[in-house]
Amino acid sequence: MTTSVPHGLYPAEVEELRLRTRDFIRGTVMAAEPRPGQALNLAVRRELGEAAKAAGVYAPHVAKEYGGQGLAVQHWSPVFQEAGYSPIGPAVLNCMAPDEGNMHMLALIGTAQQKRDFLAPLAAGETTSCFAMSEPHPGAGSDPEALTTAAVRSGRGWVINGHKRFTSGATFAAFAIVMARTAADGAGAAGAAGAGAAGAAPAGATMFLVPMNTPGVRLGTPIHTMDKYLPGGHPHVMFDDVRVPDTAVLGEAGLGFKYAQLRLGPARLTHCMRWLGLARRAQDIALDRANTREIFGAHISQLGIAQEMIAQSELDIETSDAIIGKCAALLGVDAKAGSALSSVAKVHCSEAVYRVIDRAVQLCGGDGVSDGLPLAQYLNEVRPFRIYDGSTETHKWAIARRAASARRRAVDAGEPFLGTAQLHEGER
């Protein structure tokens, strides 16, 4: 069985882009991968990015007017998986978090000026960005309602104060999308409907586009995590009396939590796509070892216990691919329902991908835990995904609540109630 991304399920132009991406990743990018545990050199990233543009595979998710390939969200998965076959592939193709999610949101709710100033250079790879949401305890983490960073009105602008952490990519970012709590405001704010639009804004959270060189923005202590391939790391970022104009508001004031869901649904899913590509790489490494290494007079692939591990990994890969495909299709027609399903996909895929790579390590024995193979570093890269973008346990809590609520609504609407034991005819 091949571990290539399934084909024939997408339009011909998507399959063509998938194959071009596959050839570019395996023929150009893999040879430039850093040693396990080392970060991607920024100069190498830029050089490979230019090569990706020349190969026609750069920024698959970005509209063609901004230099991308113009894929609809329901067609991202096969291409993102091919990019993820190399741990540096998504960064090279400019479809890596957090930039990919920020581009998607800017395209959806940014003003024309914001798209010119922020989206265009980001899509072209001229800049990078970060998303400043997570905060030190007791601030926002798994619970976004705990947001403590605040923005208050000041003339025709805002003043932001707060402390963020795990601000992925912030070290090299040109700008941040900052989530801050805002009070009800009757003055209105610049939003997607047009700069300077008047009207009352509700209390809640607001997203701001903040250049990192704005006075009062300060990088704090870096956070040293087990994953190493994301350029820019995950540092603390401080916002001390940071002044921004009304035009810095992304979308509309007070609607930040709503917009966060627009971003997080696809962003969770693209993480699944990229890491599933890396799981396919790990499975191929394990299969190559199992097909050539002999033990107890037979190739490893002929031993029952190894076959069980290989089969379980194939099951994890295929079920992950299926749920990603269903969720991507749903996001294309119903963003709210797709976002809810992305929570299910995130839990399943983050756990399944880790299992696949862990089994590959086991099948490769001593080499699996050494830096002679990249598998141990792959484990380090995917392990945080069970925490990033909401921990597995937080998502399970939300999934269970949605399931119970949906069933209550169905019963209230006339579905038969099945929770009471019934006597069978012969027992009456």
Any idea where the domains of the chain sit in the sequence?
12-123, 129-252, 258-410
Please count the other Cβ atoms lying within 10 Å of the Cβ belonging to residue 258.
13
Higher pLDDT, 271 or 38: 271
DSSP 3-44: -SPP-SSS-HHHHHHHHHHHHHIIIIIGGGPPPTTPPPPHHH
Distance CA 253, CA 404 (A): 32
What angle (nearest 5°) sits at the alpha carbon of residue 170, between those of residues 353 and 373? 35
**Phi-psi category of residue 117: left, alpha or beta, with phi > 0 → left and psi -120 to 50 → alpha:** alpha
The type of residue at 30 is M
The highest-level CATH class for domain 258-410 is mainly alpha
pLDDT digits (tens, 9 = 90+) for 288-318: 999 999 888 899 999 999 999 999 999 999 9
Answer whether residue 191 shows pLDDT above 50.
no
The answer as to CATH 3.40.50.720 being correct for domain 129-252 is: no
Distance CA 304, CA 110 (A): 55
The predicted model scores a pTM of: 0.91
Burial readout 338-352 (b: 16 or more C-beta within 10 A, e: otherwise) = bbbbbbbbbbbbbeb
Pick from 25, 65, 106: nearest CA to 274: 25
- Omega within 30 of 0 (cis) for the link into 202: no
**Cα end-to-end span (Å), the chain:** 55
pLDDT digits (tens, 9 = 90+) for 125-168: 999 999 999 999 998 877 778 899 999 999 999 999 999 999 99
pLDDT of residue 84: 98
Angle in degrees, 0-180, between the axes of helices 304-331 and 335-363, rounded to the nearest 10:
160
Fold of the domain built from segment(s) 12-123: Butyryl-Coa Dehydrogenase, subunit A; domain 1 (1.10.540)
Distance CA 107, CA 350 (A): 27
pLDDT digits (tens, 9 = 90+) for 27-71: 999 999 998 878 888 899 999 999 999 999 999 999 999 999 999
Distance CA 103, CA 313 (A): 33
pLDDT-derived band at 6 (thresholds 50, 70, 90) equals low
